[in-house]
Chains A and B, each alone.
Chain A
């Protein structure tokens, strides 16, 4: 089945290609109602990880609409005219928690555009990066959910695990957020099997099962933020039983060789997104146990071309369209970030919920504002 993923600059990206298309601006269906008021939260507030403004139209409990403005901290990134490896320094800093996904999607676009065959072992290294990133992010999302519920013990235990994963990444890749790891021509990595993954699995298994059994925790998630939409991506789609996953579709990375299985659930709510993320942590650990990290290089070359690179980031499809000129410099670049799609899904799913549902629903999408407000020059 052909599915539309989203807007990638002047193109519409599908799971099997991209075509030029017009921008369709979705207008909010909200109309002012007697007694409703605008509750403004942000852009700078303690409960938020990043700067973002939420306009919550409410009667005091029931939510009629939520308008999210992620552009307060918009950054202009000067990337056009830069050489590939120089451009990578900037790509890394679009969204640090998803750096592996960003840099690998960007490099895959470059390599496809220039017709470079990437060694198989390097592709496995890249899978290891993305899956470690997914584990960290999913742990953080679940931690944020427990934080919203005021559950101190699982919150602390999950943060312990997030830090543990960061240290594993730092040990094998030299940097906790994969900065300076990927480059056009190779990878900086410590060779060998990744150790200490069993500790993550054992601890998380215990926590996950305890959380599922906790009625007062799951009551806050079940029925909260229901969204079953063909435009969904990532855990939001898979929680609605839609088997959308670039790891299944994109032939650029050999996920199928590692026995990858898609994780789904059928409730389409914040609980479903929590379950999918939890199951994905086990799936990622399973794949990582089959990978032996190796430092591999390939011969790069100067040529011109254009292509799209796409990966399944922890929050869904992430893609770059890149054009390179014959001097090896970036002449055009577009980004489709998962957060830009998830923010729309969040707003839609929030209508008709109640005020106290908001933090749980917001966290369940795993949105990073930094990757939305980016303008390339």
Chain B
């Protein structure tokens, strides 16, 4: 049987998220709620408040704090409806553990299928509408990051993916670049990334 027919036989496997609720979400990638002061290694919990952008989801706060299953742990400060029909992203890894890279890649899996929203990856910053930065800032990638940013045409957006890129997480310092979109998590769940990207492109 040809690959084409095999594909047809399998049928549609894409989920209806974000129109419908996400399925089978790993708890320790979602919003955390609770109370009390705990021994938090990144100070994500201070004075009974949880800062999603610092959290590395290590469970040190459990059972005082528990995951809720809510995947909306991102902040879109600037969106651009110009990108509504086609939104090209250039991902750059400036010092990751590989977790963000893999979760981002899984947006192309049939479950999420980001292309149905007109979201695509591009192999060059020249074709990119958004620069997606992952990882802590390493010395070797500093120049590559700046060159990628400068190579991009206007208008352009910066997306910071994961605790390392937003706050430095546990391992170091974040890249010196201001994010228009900040997607929390260690690593962020693909549901969280997908919803953040859909909102960023102005849908």
Cβ of B26 and Cβ of A72 under 8 Å apart? no
The 8 Å CB contact of A370, one of B13, B97, B121, B139, is B97
The 8 Å CB contact of A50, one of B26, B96, B124, is B96
> How long is the Cα–Cα vector from A90 to B172 in the complex, in angstroms?
11
Cβ of A174 and Cβ of B109 under 8 Å apart? no
Number of interface residues of B (CB under 8 A): 58
Number of interface residues of A (CB under 8 A): 50
The 8 Å CB contact of B109, one of A45, A90, A163, is A163
Closest A residue to B96 using CB positions? A370
Cβ of B98 and Cβ of A95 under 8 Å apart? yes
Q: Mark A177-207, 1 if CB is under 8 A from B, else 0.
A: 1011000000010000000000000000000
Contacts of A368 in B (CB 8 A): 98
The 8 Å CB contact of B135, one of A46, A73, A153, A157, is A73
Cβ of A210 and Cβ of B6 under 8 Å apart? yes
Closest A residue to B7 using CB positions? A153
Chain A CB within 8 A of B144 CB = yes
> How long is the Cα–Cα vector from A174 to B108 in the complex, in angstroms?
23
Chain B CB within 8 A of A151 CB = yes
Cβ of B57 and Cβ of A175 under 8 Å apart? yes
Contacts of B187 in A (CB 8 A): 96, 176-177
The 8 Å CB contact of B101, one of A50, A154, A167, is A50
> How long is the Cα–Cα vector from A152 to B113 in the complex, in angstroms?
13
Of B4, B10, B140, chain A has the most CB atoms within 10 Å of the CB of: B140
> How long is the Cα–Cα vector from A93 to B97 in the complex, in angstroms?
6
Cβ of A43 and Cβ of B109 under 8 Å apart? no
Contacts of A176 in B (CB 8 A): 26, 29, 103, 187, 189
Q: Mark A132-152, 1 if CB is under 8 A from B, else 0.
A: 000000001000000000011
Chain A CB within 8 A of B198 CB = no
The 8 Å CB contact of B141, one of A44, A46, A177, is A44
Closest B residue to A69 using CB positions? B140
Cβ of B110 and Cβ of A153 under 8 Å apart? no
The 8 Å CB contact of B171, one of A77, A166, A167, is A77
The 8 Å CB contact of B106, one of A46, A73, A75, A166, is A166
The 8 Å CB contact of B98, one of A46, A49, A157, A160, is A49
Chain B CB within 8 A of A356 CB = no
Cβ of A171 and Cβ of B26 under 8 Å apart? yes
Query: Can you give 24 A-B contacts (C-beta < 8 A)?
Result: A44-B141, A46-B121, A73-B93, A73-B95, A74-B139, A75-B95, A75-B136, A76-B172, A86-B41, A89-B41, A93-B99, A96-B98, A97-B98, A140-B102, A152-B7, A157-B6, A157-B110, A160-B110, A166-B106, A169-B26, A171-B26, A210-B6, A370-B96, A370-B97
Sort A-B residue pairs by CB-CB distance and give the 8 closest, nearest first.
Answer: A46-B123, A170-B26, A96-B99, A72-B140, A159-B109, A180-B59, A153-B7, A153-B3
